[in-house]
Amino acid sequence: MFMSKVAIIMPVYNEAETIENTIREIKNKIIEKINFVDVWIFEDGSTDGTKEILKKLENEIPNLYVQLEEDRKGYSKAMKEAFLIINTKDYKYVMAIDSDGQYDPNDFFKLWEVFKKDSPDIVMGMRVKRADPFWRRFLSWGLKVLERFMFPISCDDVTSVMRLMSVETAHVIAKEVKYSKYNFWLEFTARTALKGYEVTELPVTYRERMGGSRVYNIKNILKIIISELNALICVKNEWKMMKKKQ
């Protein structure tokens, strides 16, 4: 039924080691069980063979759509464009997920059930047990502390990717994300809070990643924190200026 169609979106960059397993797991756990979900892959200028794997899978798997890019935009821009490309004429809902297989696709049904039952604006997965190195968990904790200090945040896992919402809600928030260079979700969460959207958070499975991170490494933690703090400050100042003009 059209009014219930869901687009699952994920940007992908240099995930030749993981992307086939990730997509096949989504196929087996979601696509083969329900008929109202499509999966959209937004490839971001990969150079490791990811493109070729995606082309093969698109020809093989129904309800899988792939968009390839020659040049890399970076995660934040790719994630923003992924949200905005999903058309309200074709889909009512959209859910983001990572391409590295750390989220379990089975948790889609948990989010979907609560979304349809309680009708919050956004249902998001909260990573309770994170199979990440200590420094990754420390980075997320530090960013969470900064954001909760600056904004009226209602959720705990401010950088979680797994979020389900209407396409209209996604468009309203995503189109305003513009300052975050490394972590699209930190700014997305801040703008969600400032707009007063109702968010429901549910515990989800979060598994060990195969292969190294494409964005974060222990050498650039300080640079990321400074960059994302500056992004949050810009969002805060922009909001204050808008309020003064009202």
Whether 200 and 123 have beta carbons less than 8 Å apart is answered as yes
Question: How far is it, in rounded angstroms, from Cα 81 to Cα 178?
Answer: 11
* CB contact at 8 A, 107 and 143: no
Beta bridge partners of 40: 9, 65
Cα 123–125–130 angle (5° rounding)?
A: 170
Residue 126 has a CB neighbour count (10 Å cut-off) of 16
pLDDT digits (tens, 9 = 90+) for 33-45: 999 999 999 999 9
Encode pLDDT of 49-108 as tens digits.
999 999 999 999 999 999 999 999 999 999 999 999 999 999 999 999 999 999 999 999
Predicted TM-score (pTM) above 0.85: yes
> pLDDT tens across 172-207, in order?
999 999 999 888 999 999 999 999 999 999 999 998
CATH architecture assignment, domain 2-132+157-178+195-214: Alpha-Beta Complex (3.90)
In contact, 174 and 42? CB cutoff 8 Å? no
Contact 53, 12 (CB under 8 A): no
- Reported as half-sphere exposure (CB side, CA atoms, 13 A), residue 62 has a value of 8
**Percentage, residues of the chain above pLDDT 70:** 91
Give me the residue label for tokens 């080691």: 17
